[in-house]
Chain A
Amino acid sequence: MRCSRRWVANVLSVTEIPAPPKRTATVALRGATLRFGARELWAGLDLDVVPGEFVAVLGPNGSGKTSLLKVLLGLQRLTSGSVSVCGRTPRRGSDLVGYIPQQKAFDRDLPLRGRDLVRLGLDGHRWGTALPSRAARARVDQAIESVGATAFADAPLGTLSGGEQQRLRIAQALLGDPRVLLCDEPLLSLDLAHQQATSALIDARRRDADTSVLFVTHEINPVLPLVDRVLYLVGGRWAIGTPDEVMTSARLSELYDTDVDVLRVRGRIVVVGAPDAAHGDPGASHHHHPVDDDHDEPGVRSWA
């Protein structure tokens, strides 16, 4: 029941009660280990994400951030340990999870409007042909409106800016009314204003609907005010805690097994000396590597 929509409405109507009931985790990992051949991405990972919580997933390339999302999407099995989403084993195509990818370049003449992209989020994974349906159209319209994309939803996708595209991505992911939002670098290659707009929409969703957010990113600063906890993955080791607990010189030096300095400059976190410079150096784009070995499962094509 903790994952049902009705429960959300109840919470909103009983906000006067001082101590809310203990919340059941939307995402639960126990001793989760993922290994590809001899390479261990992470081991013994324990994580409980509560409804409405915003967890930033950080770590260098190849540390298994994207693979963690794939586990939660039901696309990748754990080597050992257990995982559940809303008490159930993750399953392909489940409406319990929504997925927001990084912005990508669509061809200008791709025959697809913004609205069509959103609609695919509703039932694009089902066999058959989508017949015109007033109910579906109303849901799509409403999702588009909720992200402020009505003005450009009928334009060809390839003519939209990265920021406009990401608004539609959020609408697409929210159509299934997910309890968990998985975001894989959704701010990458957006300018500052659109980074803020996009993260504000994700933040609004988790506050309004108590949706948990797992946010994979190389750069914590744009979302730092939103982050409840950080999951930091480095070469098989991991740390979990509030940004203040995890983003310290001592903790990261321990994780990276080398001297790392974490500096706080004007409310921003700057990490110096981390191999692979996973998320320091605001504004730098060295993480945008064409062969990101985070996407390391053999045989899966173009998972970005």
Chain B
Amino acid sequence: MGLGDYLQLGFVQHALIAGGLVAIISGLIGPFVITRRAAFAVHGTAELSFTGAAAGLVVADDAVGGALIGSIVVAAAIGVLGVRERERDSAIGVILAFGLGAGVFLLSHYHGFTNSATSILFGSIFTVSDDQIWLLLAVAGGVLVTMAVLYRPLLFASVDPDVAEARGVRGRLVGLAFLVVLALTVTEAAQIVGTLLVLSLAITPAAAAQRLSARPAVVTGLSILFALVSSLGGLIASLETPSVKASVWITTISFALYVLARLAGARVIVRRRVVAPAPA
């Protein structure tokens, strides 16, 4: 069966749509994750989507709904407990440890298929259903709209918090809104591609993009592009190589892009101007 034949298959098309959507929103939030030093928040919310899923199963037999609602709870908890930047990582660690424990406890009280909870941890991109595609579209649409509204004050508050505050940006509100967007993105990404891949789509492409430009808009564009290339490239490559999983390809491609960007970026960024003499 050739690649063209595969692309006719419904489950392959679903996977490509899902992988593309996840890549776009992950690539979009990536530069802010790095600037705000929120990589651990990404990791924490990704793993905690397991707890949300377990809670969802116990309460309503709905893992995905539980994971999404759980992610908002987690974002709020991180926002409230980690107000100061210095204590944010320890707050995430505290929530993560307790949350995973709670997830295990909840799961022990669930007597259905534990599969649906564990698949949240590892993702299952080739079993994406119609319903999941619609939900993903809705979440991705929400993330895109929120980020469009949030973009400018979020950038200001991320790179220059003191002056942003002085100019009237409500840094805490903007930061909390971003945490919610981040948590939703990460949770959606986690159930499609797995916790492991969340990091390689939400952080690696942005880290590579930063090596190539210092323009915020260009960095965001490149980050989305790299995430798309990794995600779609990885999915297509895995169709051709049944023995290698899509996740392996995706992480490998995004890592390769990062290495290339580092090699190329050494020259791009250091292209610095001649210092003009300061007028006396």
Q: Which residues of B contact A121 (CB under 8 A)?
A: 163, 167
Q: Are A109 and B152 in contact (CB under 8 A)?
A: no
- The B62-92 residues at the A interface (CB cut-off 8 A) are 83-85
Contact flag A117-B164 (CB < 8 Å), given A111-B219, A151-B275 = no
Query: Smallest Cβ distance from A90 to chain B, in angstroms?
Result: 11
Contacts across chains A and B counted by CB atoms under 8 Å: 130
Distance in Å: Cβ of A197 to nearest Cβ of chain B? 5
Closest A residue by C-beta to B271: A155
Instruction: Determine if A30 is an interface residue (Cβ-Cβ < 8 Å).
Output: no
B210–chain A nearest beta-carbon distance, Å: 5
Identify which of A92, A154, A169 contacts B273 (C-beta below 8 A). A154
B269 and A127 within 8 A (CB): no
B60 at the interface (CB under 8 A from A): no
For residue B40, CB closer than 8 A to chain A, the reply is no
Once the chains are docked, how many angstroms separate the CA of A111 from the CA of B85?
A: 20
Partner of A111, one of B168, B210, B272, B278: B210
In this complex, how many residues of chain A approach chain B with their Cβ under 8 Å: the count is: 52
- Say if the beta carbon of A12 comes within 8 Å of chain B: no
With A120-B160, A148-B278, A163-B278 as given contacts, are A127 and B153 in contact (CB-CB < 8 Å)? yes
Interface residues of A in 102-122 (CB under 8 A from B): 104, 106, 109-113, 116-117, 120-121
Q: Tell me the chain A residues, 126-179 only, with Cβ under 8 Å from chain B.
A: 126-130, 148, 150-152, 154-157, 159, 163-164, 169, 172
**Is A111 touching B151 in the complex (CB atoms < 8 A)?**
no
- The binding surface of chain B is classed by DSSP as helix
Residues on the A chain within 8 Å of B114, using CB: none
Q: Within 8 Å of chain A (Cβ to Cβ): is B225?
A: no
Alpha-carbon distance A112/B156, docked complex (angstroms) = 10
Considering only residues 270-304 of chain A, those with a C-beta below 8 Å from chain B are 299-304
A109 touches B167 (CB 8 A): no
Interface size on B, residues (CB 8 A): 43
CB neighbours of B219 from chain A (8 A): 111
In the complex, the answer to whether A302 meets B161 with C-beta atoms within 8 Å is: yes
- Give the docked Cα–Cα distance between A152 and B215 (Å): 14
CA distance A36 to B99 in the complex (A): 37
Q: Are B149 and A125 in contact (CB under 8 A)?
A: no
In the assembled complex, B229 has its CB within 8 A of some CB on chain A: no
Q: Decide: B171 and A117 in contact? CB cutoff 8 A.
A: no
Q: A125-B164, A125-B167, A303-B165 are in contact. Are A130 and B274 (CB under 8 A)?
A: no
A250 on interface, CB distance cutoff 8 Å: no
At the interface, yes or no: B211 with Cβ under 8 Å from chain A? Answer: yes
Whole-angstrom CA separation of A182 from B211 in the bound complex: 35
Distance (whole angstroms) from the CB of A213 to the closest CB of chain B: 15
B169 interfacial by beta-carbon distance below 8 Å? yes
Nearest-Cβ distance from residue B176 to partner chain A, whole angstroms: 12
Q: Which residue of A lies closest to B171 (CB)?
A: A301
Known: A111-B215, A128-B149. A302 touches B162 (CB 8 A): yes
Task: Say yes or no: B269 contacts A109, CB within 8 Å.
Answer: yes
- Which residues of A lie under 8 Å from residue B164 when comparing CB positions? 120, 124-125
Cross-chain contact A92 with B168 (CB below 8 angstroms): yes
CA distance A112 to B269 in the complex (A): 11
Cβ of A93 under 8 Å from chain B: yes
Chain A CB within 8 A of B150 CB:
yes
> Could you pull out 7 A-B pairs where Cβ atoms are within 8 angstroms?
A75-B166, A99-B167, A111-B214, A117-B159, A128-B148, A128-B152, A148-B279
Interface residues of A (CB under 8 A from B): 73-75, 91-94, 99, 101, 104, 106, 109-113, 116-117, 120-121, 123-130, 148, 150-152, 154-157, 159, 163-164, 169, 172, 182, 193-194, 196-197, 299-304
